[in-house]
Amino acid sequence: MNSRTAVRPAGQKINYRRIYTLLACCIACTVIFASAALKLSDHFSPQSLELNAIGGFGGFSLPITLYEDEVMEPGREGITKQPLYVIEEKKESTEQSSGRYPIIESDLSLGALPGQILVRDSDSGMSVDTELLLSSAYPKALSQGGISHISTKQQPLVLIVHTHATEAFTEEGVDTYTAQTTFRSSDKSKNMVAVGRVMAQVLNERGIPTLHCEILHDEGDYNGAYDNSLATVKKYLEQYPSIKYVFDLHRDAIIRENGEAVKPVCNIDQKKTAQVMILVGTNAGGADHSMWMENNMNLAVKLQYELTEEYTGIARPINLRKLSFHQQYAPGSLLFEIGSCANTLEEAKNAAKYLGNAIADVINNS
């Protein structure tokens, strides 16, 4: 007989009750641990684990749980989803019995101090030395010829376009919305065109020849809006080779997981003002955009500095993206998110005025 073989003494009975009890305990423990793992997965999903690098002069990180997700903007069922910025909160829905969701004012500047540059990389994987860019010379592609030379001949220097021109805002005095709220309008006095008119007026008054395209590139063809606006930009650049800055004005849509709509807002000159986010495209997605850092990002950093210096609280962190958003076609191309769907048109217009003045200061002092 093998010496390692266990032998049950004669007459000893197997205690099945003990075995069943032990087996039940094991199953209970397995269920508890599985439940805990599923609960933790809510907080440690691939989205929530994605590191959002918020860098300043010292390259530090700030504790923020903003992440990108595919969220349907209210009133846009049936068309391609647009990546929106969602504030991660695990709460039950705040929808009331009336079917209305609240609009919540929020400061998305992350408390940036005057002159402080914050950058959020959404998906590009690129690193940016903001301190180096801020101290570097103004982009040669933008400074050649000089603003005075352009102004004398009255050749346009800036083009303002709207890829998503029908993006609109919340009515004054409204603090809730429903799932049927569209936040869109073809009325140019209510959508992004109205915001662009304010910025164009400021730039022209500051001596910077500016053209404002009021075409609704997304009307009836939202999914083809970027192709439509690119075709327009190319026509303008062909007709006016003096254009070096192309600004695409949008408004964001920020919805919390519990349905709350976030209104990014600050107070400037005792006026409620929508906060602004500069979006910079890169070549990480394969676009022929090798000069994005030297030109577009350089400009964005200098503009962000001006915004935080002159209008503290207005600027959200610069958003770095994998796609180029067609910014390779002009060295001074940038995309601006002016407020969100929860802001009012007046708040967005206030932001456009301050943004226009900051741009004018940067160009005129280049």
Please choose, from the candidates 278, 276, 277, 274, the residue with its C-alpha nearest in 3D space to the C-alpha of residue 342: 274
Question: What sign has the CA pseudo-torsion 281, 84, 109, 347?
Answer: positive
The mean per-residue pLDDT over the stretch 254-278 comes to: 96
3-state secondary structure of 64: coil
Give the torsion sign (CA, 235, 221, 300, 323).
negative
> Is pLDDT of 113 > 80?
yes
- DSSP letters spanning 176-245: EEETT---B-S-TTTSHHHHHHHHHHHHHHTT--EEE----TTTT-GGGHHHHHHHHHHHHHHH-TT--E
**Of 198 and 22, the one with more pLDDT:** 198
State how far the alpha carbon of 138 is from the alpha carbons of 309, 332, 352, in Å: 18, 11, 23
Cβ neighbours for 351, distance < 8 A, ≥ 6 positions apart: 195, 273, 274, 275, 276, 314, 338, 339
pTM, to two decimals: 0.76
Q: Which residue has the higher pLDDT, 68 or 324?
A: 324
Length of the chain: 366
Which run of H or of E encompasses 259? none
Lowest mean pLDDT: which of 48-62, 75-89, 102-116, 299-313?
A: 48-62
Biggest distance spanned by C-alpha atoms of the chain: 112
Mean pLDDT in residue range 16-30: 59
The two tokens of residue 159 are: 């083009």
Q: Domains of the chain, with CATH numbers?
A: 105-364 (3.40.630)
Percent of the chain with pLDDT over 70: 70
pLDDT of residue 19: 57
Residue 13 pLDDT exceeds 90: no
Q: What is the pLDDT of residue 143?
A: 85
279 has a pLDDT exceeding 90: yes
With a cut of 60, say whether residue 125 has pLDDT above it: yes
Asked whether the predicted pLDDT for residue 53 surpasses 50, the reply is: no
Task: Estimate to the nearest angstrom the gap between the alpha carbon of 121 and the chain centroid.
Answer: 10
Q: Looking at residue 340, what is its pLDDT?
A: 98
What is the C-alpha to C-alpha distance for residues 2 and 73, in angstroms, rounded to an integer? 73
Interacting residues of 24 by C-beta distance below 8 A, sequence separation 6+: none
Do the Cβ atoms of 101 and 308 come closer than 8 Å? no
Phi, psi of 264 (to 5 degrees): -75, 115
| Residue corresponding to tokens 């048109």 | 345
- φ, ψ for residue 250 (rounded to 5)? -130, 175
Would the pLDDT of 321 be above 90? yes
pLDDT band of 39, cuts 50, 70, 90: very low
pLDDT class of 154 with cuts at 50, 70, 90:
confident
SS3 of 7, please?
Answer: coil
> Could you tell me if 218 and 305 are in contact, meaning their C-beta atoms sit under 8 angstroms apart?
no
In which element (H, E) is residue 269 found?
Answer: none
The residue behind tokens 């209510």 is: 190
Least confident of 56-70, 116-130, 144-158, 336-350: 56-70
**What's the average model confidence in pLDDT over 111-115?**
95
End-to-end CA distance of the chain: 95
What pLDDT is attached to residue 138?
A: 97
